[in-house]
Structure 1
Amino acid sequence: MDDVTPPLPEPPARDWSLLPLDVLSLIFVRLGAVEVLMGAGLVCRWWLQAPKLPEVYRAVDTENDDIAWMDAAVLRAMARAAVDRSDGQLRVFAGRLFVNDGLMKYIVERSPLLTTLRLEYCFFDVFGTRLINVIRESPLLQLRSLEETYLEVEELTDVLESCPLLEVLQVNNCFKIYDDEESLLRAKFARIKTMTVRCDVDFNYPTDFESEDFDFASDSEFFQ
C-alpha cells in the first residue's frame, strides 16, 4: 500500500494589524481618501494612525456613483475633513452635485498645491463670479474639468487668466458659450495644450428648477 502524503499544514494567519505605518499609508493611498473616511481605517486600533497621514489625502475623488447621491451636507463635511487632514498637500479634487461656494472656498484657501479640479453638475452654487473670485487663489492649476455648467464666456475667460499654468481644459455641455466664442477662447489661450469646449446651445434650461431640489443644507459636524 502506497504511503499517503500528509497534507501540508496551513500557513499561520497573517496579523494585518502589525503592518508598519508606511505600508499602511501606501495601502490607504491606493484605496482612496473617500473609502478611508468612510471607515476603512477603523479595522483595528493600530490602523487609526494611518488615516490621519496627509499623503492619504493628496487626491480626493468624490465622483463615485456609490456616494454621489448621499446627503450633500455629509459629503461636504467629508470633503472638509479630507482637506484638513491633507495639511495643505491636496493636489487633486473631484466633486459632483454637492459642491457649493463655501466648500470651494474652503478647499482653495487651504490647498496651495491644488493642480487638478473637476466639478460636475454644480450649476447653482459654484459657477459664476463667485467661482472666479475663489479660483484666483489657485494659480498652480494645470487641469480643469467642468461638466454640465452654466457659465458665460467672460466668466471662463477670467478663470483662465487666473491660471497661467493651466495645460488642460475640458468644458462639456456649457450652456452659455457658443461656437464663435469658443474660437476666440482658443485663439486667446493658445498656451493651453489641450482645450475641449463642447457646448449644448439647444439645451432647454429648466427655468422652474430650483437648487432646493437637491439638499444643499449647511454642513453637518462630521468627520472631526
Structure 2
Amino acid sequence: MDPRPDPADEFRNWLELPRDVTASILMRLGAIEILTSAQRVCSPWRKLCKDPSMWRAVDMRNSDNQWEDYELERICRDAVDRSCGQVVDINVENFGTDELLRHIADSSSQVKRLRLVRCYGISDEGLSGVAAKLPLLEELAISYCPLSKFALKDVGQSCPLLKSLKFNSRELRYGEFDEEALAIAENMSELRCLQLYGNKLTNDGLQAILDGCPHLESLDLRRCFNVTFAGNLERRCAEQIKDLRLPHDSTDDYEFNDYCSFDDLSGGSYFSDYNYDYENVDIEYFEGYDDPSSDGDDFYFD
C-alpha cells in the first residue's frame, strides 16, 4: 500500500468553501486588508467584497502604521459607501477627521456602535454636528481624542438610546475637573456601562453620575485618582454598581498601555501599542492609489 497521502487531501480549494464561511473569514481581516489585498485574490472574492452585508461592521484599525491618514480616510469612505447605508458598527483608530465623521453619519443612520481612538482630527464641533444623525447609537467609545464636555452633552441629548460610554483620558492634566462627569450625569440617564479611565473627576462628579445615571451597572474608575470615596460614597458605589473598578485597581486587562514618557510628549506618539499582540498582515502597496489622474477604482483592482 502506498503510504503517501492523496494530494487532493493535502490541499483545500478555498473557492469551494460555502459563501457564508468565506465571508466570515474575510471579515476577520478588517477593512484595510480586505480593500487593499484580499479582494484582489480572485473574482469570487472580489464579488463577495462588494456585497453591502460585508460592511455592516467596518474595522479601521491601523496596527502597522503603514498608511498615511489621507489614504486611510479614503479606504474608510469606500468601506462605508459599500455598505449602502447598512453600517452598524464602525471603529476608527489613529486617524479620523470631522469630514470623515460627517460622511459616516450622512451615509448611514443605522450606526449603533462608534469607536474613536486617537482621532486628533475630530473636534467637539465635529462630533456635536453629527450626533443628531446617529439616533440609534447605543455604544460610544472615545479614547485619547481632543473631545470635551461639549461633545458629551450634545451626544447625550441627541442619542437617547446610548447605553455604553467609554471616555478615556491621557492622564496628562493636573487638577480636578468635574465638567465631563456632570455632562454625563445630566445628559446620559440611560447609561448601563461607563468607563472613565484616567479622568480627573472628583467625589462630586462621581456623586452626580450615581444620581443622574440610575441604571448604571458597570463603572470603571481606574486611574481616577481624584476620587477618594469620602463618607459613604464607596458603599453606595458597591450597592448600586455590579461591576466596579476602583482607581488603584490593576490595569493589566486595560486595552491600551498607560505608559507615557516625556520623549513621547516632545514629538512622538502619546501612547505605545496595544497590550495585546495583533498579527501583522503583509499589505502590498500598489501604484495608482494617490494618483490624481486615477478615478479611484484602479486602486481596488478594477
TM-score, length of structure 1 as denominator length = 0.79
Residues 59-70 of structure 1 mapped to structure 2, 5 A cutoff:
59-66=57-64, 68-70=65-67
Q: CA-to-partner distance for each residue in 1:18-48, whole Å, 9 max, x for gaps?
A: 4443443232223333321121122222322
| Structure 2 counterpart SS, 1:160 | helix
**Match for residue 35 of structure 2?**
37
| Structure 2 counterpart SS, 1:93 | strand
CA RMSD of aligned residues (A): 3.1
Shift of 1:74: 1.0
- Conserved? CA contact 1:25–1:53, under 8 Å: no
> What is the CA–CA distance in structure 1 between the aligned matches of 2:95 and 2:181, rounded to whole Å?
32
> What is the CA–CA distance in structure 2 between the aligned matches of 1:97 and 1:30, rounded to whole Å?
19
Aligned length: 208
**Match for residue 25 of structure 1?**
23
- Conserved? CA contact 2:118–2:145, under 8 Å: yes
Matched, 1:161 2:160: no
Closer, same or farther: CA 9–59 of 1 in aligned 2, 3 Å = same
Shift of 1:79: 0.3
> What is the CA–CA distance in structure 2 between the aligned matches of 1:87 and 1:154, rounded to whole Å?
31
> What is the CA–CA distance in structure 2 between the aligned matches of 1:96 and 1:160, rounded to whole Å?
22
Paired AA for residue 116 in structure 2: L
> What is the CA–CA distance in structure 2 between the aligned matches of 1:75 and 1:133, rounded to whole Å?
22
Farther-moved stretch of structure 1 (80-89 vs 151-160):
151-160
Shift of 1:100: 0.6
Matched, 1:143 2:139: yes
Matched, 1:52 2:74: no
Q: Structure 1 regions of 5+ residues with no counterpart?
A: 210-218
Matched, 1:130 2:129: no
> What is the CA–CA distance in structure 1 between the aligned matches of 2:19 and 2:199, rounded to whole Å?
49
Closer, same or farther: CA 55–32 of 1 in aligned 2, 3 Å = farther
> What is the CA–CA distance in structure 1 between the aligned matches of 2:167 and 2:95, rounded to whole Å?
19
From 48, 67, 70, the counterpart of 1:73: 70
- Conserved? CA contact 1:178–1:199, under 8 Å: no
Which is bigger in relative contact order (C-alpha 8 A, separation at least 6)?
Answer: 1
> What is the CA–CA distance in structure 2 between the aligned matches of 1:45 and 1:154, rounded to whole Å?
48
> What is the CA–CA distance in structure 2 between the aligned matches of 1:131 and 1:187, rounded to whole Å?
19
Shift of 1:155: 2.9
| Structure 2 counterpart SS, 1:169 | strand
> What is the CA–CA distance in structure 1 between the aligned matches of 2:176 and 2:123, rounded to whole Å?
17
**Match for residue 194 of structure 1?**
193
Closer, same or farther: CA 71–182 of 1 in aligned 2, 3 Å = closer
Shift of 1:69: 4.7
Moved over 6 A (4+): 174-177
Closer, same or farther: CA 96–178 of 1 in aligned 2, 3 Å = farther
**Match for residue 81 of structure 2?**
84
| Structure 2 counterpart SS, 1:31 | coil
> What is the CA–CA distance in structure 2 between the aligned matches of 1:38 and 1:170, rounded to whole Å?
30
